[in-house]
Structure 1
Amino acid sequence: MNPSATTSRRRRPSLLLFTAFTIALVALQIPNVAAGENDVDFKGIVRDARNLTFENPSLRRAYYALQSWKHAIFSDPFNFTANWTGADVCSYGGVFCAPSPSNASVRVVAGIDLNHGDIAGYLPDELGLLTDLALFHINSNRFCGVVPDTFKKLKVLFELDLSNNRFVGGFPKVVLSLPSLKFLDLRFNDFEGGVPTQIFDKDLDALFLNDNRFRFGIPANLGNSPVSVLVLANNNLGGCIPASIGKMGKTLNELILMNDNLTGCLPPQIGMLKELTVFDVSFNNLQGPLPAEISRMRSLEQLDVAHNRLTGVVPATVCQLPRLENFTYSFNYFTGEAPQCSRFGGGSVADGKQNCIPSKSNQRSAKECASDDAKPYD
């Protein structure tokens, strides 16, 4: 899920010259970009380009976008953008060109990868000029502010990774308008508010929203999503796991909902997740028993329900799942476990400490086991 844009062989420049009138016209066709609404001197960038020759108009527009971005960068300690000069944008560090899908004889900027650059700055509106962009990866930097609305012009964008930066504001709804998007990674930022229902109606393959400040529950249409990997961990979502989750049985491979302040019971519909290999709902406030339907999750390899308020008996059918390698159910209020759970063999690991199982060591005190937290869920 991390394909790189390939660089095609260099082609002879077309020597196509733009007149000053044409350049000015291009600027006028970009609303809210050249109008002085941010700190980027876009008119100066267009003026500087008059003496440069570009292979094609697409690479000229890419020059405008990348030079605008360079002006919006405050710190580049590893000099990722040091060579962002001149007309040959395909030689810029972290910029990848490829033949245009509509015309193989024309090179376009198809990918940007500035991962782990520790770069500080913001995303200017002019990045909307990169209309041929399929991959945009800028994880592990210090970009701040919001995601520009001009990203709606990136109609062929396939992967968008903004993780581990300092973006703020609500969920960047501009991504909902990207028709080709398959991979979205917004983790480790400061996005807040609700997760929009529309994100689960998009044809995504992977969705990472963890380690932000999202709230107001998991939308009820969760099950509409065709993703294979879904990570919502370390937010403050609250509420229950929607019953619609059962509709994801044919596609979902990994689901991580740890530390999301979730409440209620584990819905029995999780038993329909036949392809799920990783299921982590630890560090929440889930109550009630483990649903018997977990025994249908025959592909499970990692199961973590630790640090909740679960009660009842851990059944043999869970511990006997054929591919289960690691089962963690510690720090709950289980009162018993099947013998098969204590005889995990081979390389498998079961961790059931700090429960209320009398026959086991490292369990909760009698006072804790008699508390309200240990009472069965109504």
Structure 2
Amino acid sequence: MITGLRYLNHSDALFTGKVPHQLGSLTNLQYLDLSWHYNRPPYRNVDNIDWLSNLSSLQYLDMSGINLTKVDIFNAITKLSSLSVLHLSNCNLKSIPVVLPYVNLTYLSTIDISENDVSSMIPNWLLGMHNLVSYNGISTDISKLIRDLSGCARYSLQRLKFHNNLLHGKLPDGLAMFSNLTELHAYNNFLSGCIPESIGSLSSSLMYLYLANNRLEDPIPEAVGELSELVVLDLSFNPLGGLISNSHFAKMTKLEAIFLSSSSVTVNMSSDWTPHFQLKNIRMGSCVLGPEFPTWLKAQRNKCLMQAFQLLYLTGFGTYLLKLST
């Protein structure tokens, strides 16, 4: 019987118009994905959300890309006591209630409310989510965002995303409070100043650091070299200068990608330094290298994607390419 259905995924399926209220009869649903990820027809909308409260077993809900301007989605989800994952990205939301009359979202661990035209304030009801693992939201005040989240998710938060938010200000030292943070996505903002030394405190957790396309300035702190779990370091398209040396990579053993394009960083590694990582992607366009082909790059055995135009003119580059091809 279809009423016993537990999993329903209509993500990017080619249906249009109103989301049918008959979905409310699927009372055993645990996973519901109705999302639309393309900025083109067919468009979907909801004019009645009362049916959602019937899905009391629902754990995963994704309505990203659906027009929700005519309904009160947040009051509807307060009745979903088993809900763990909520995606409401790009839903044309104009506001998020600061308080809700009744909240029973004990298990909520992931919330995505990005790409909506709403206030930058984190709602009070969200601050009670002590199991929050992933937050992808809207903010224009990074310091307040970090303070608010640290009050409820200091030990649980693993993924923090606030890219494309027109954020100004400096990266706060308070980021170090999230001791289990694995991903920080802060690209495409107006962040300025230096990367804080406290970033090194995330040495045992941080894997992905995306700070591209901001206004970050040099120097890059040697503390980034403490990030032993780091896989991707993206500082591209920032007005960075100064030096980076092997100290900036001292404890990195899992690094796979370095992005430093469109910066004026001088890469000055010791001639006898051999990195403990093998890269898959290197983008260092406009960085200062040479005049010899760097010894540390010779240690890279992967046929990685390399973008650093100056390398073409460095002594020894041709020999390195020949060794890779054999």
What TM-score results when the alignment is normalised by the length of structure 2?
0.70
CA contact (8 A) 2:263 2:287 kept: yes
- How far the C-alpha of 1:179 sits from its partner, in A, is 1.1
CA distance in structure 2 between the aligned counterparts of 1:356 and 1:348, rounded to whole angstroms? 15
Alpha-carbon distance change, 191 to 326 in structure 1, aligned in 2, over 3 angstroms: same
Q: How does 1:2-151 map to 2 (within 5 A)?
A: 78-79=16-17, 81-84=19-22, 90=28, 94=32, 108-121=56-69, 123-124=72-73, 126-127=75-76, 129-130=78-79, 132-150=81-99
**Residue 346 of structure 1: how far off its partner (Å):** 3.6
Q: Given the superposition, is the C-alpha separation of residues 241 and 93 from structure 1 closer, same or farther in structure 2, using an over 3 Å criterion?
A: closer
Q: Does 1:322 align with 2:273?
A: no
Question: How much identity, in percent, do the aligned residues show?
Answer: 19
Tell me what 2:307 maps to: 351
Aligned counterpart, 1:20: none
- 8 Å contact kept, 1:80–1:117: no
Give yes or no for the alignment of 1:291 onto 2:229. no
- How far off its partner does 1:347 sit? 1.6
Note if contact 1:274-1:297 (Cα within 8 Å) is conserved in structure 2.
yes
Looking at secondary structure, tell me which structure has more strand per residue: 1
Residues 234-277 of structure 1: CA distance to partner in whole angstroms, max 9, x if unpaired?
Answer: 11121211111111111111111111211121111111111111
- What is the alpha-carbon root mean square deviation over aligned residues? 3.7
Match of 1:271 among 217, 225, 243: 225
Give ranges in structure 2 of 5+ residues lacking alignment.
6-14, 35-54, 318-326
SS at match of 2:254: coil
**Residues 266/85 of structure 1: CA separation in 2 closer, same or farther (3 Å cut):** closer
Helix, strand or coil for the counterpart of 1:237?
A: strand
Deviation at 1:284, TM superposition (A): 0.8
Asked which structure has the greater CA Rg, the reply is 1
In structure 1, give the amino acid aligned to 2:116: R
Q: What CA distance in whole angstroms lies between the structure 2 residues aligned with 1:134 and 1:234? A: 31
Letter of the 1:296 counterpart = K
Stretches of structure 1 lacking an aligned partner (at least 5 in a row): 1-6, 11-76, 97-106, 362-378
Could you say which residue in structure 1 is the equivalent of 2:140? 192
Quick one: distance in 2 between partners of 1:235 and 1:155? Answer: 32
Say if 1:126 and 1:150, in contact at 8 Å, map to a contact too: no
In structure 2, C-alpha distance between the alignment counterparts of 1:359 and 1:173, rounded to whole Å: 57
Amino acid paired to 2:129:
L
Question: Mapping of 1:217-232 within 5 angstroms?
Answer: 217-225=170-178, 226-232=180-186
Cα contact 1:267–1:291 (8 A) shared by 2: no
Structure 1 position 166 matched with structure 2 position 119:
no
Amino acid at match of 2:79: L
Aligned partners of 1:80 and 1:94 also within 8 Å: no
| Contact persistence 1:123–1:148 (CA under 8 A) | no
Residue pairs, 1:174-189, within 5 angstroms: 174=124, 175-186=126-137
Number of matched residues?
A: 276
Distance in 2 between residues matched to 1:90 and 1:219, nearest whole Å: 44
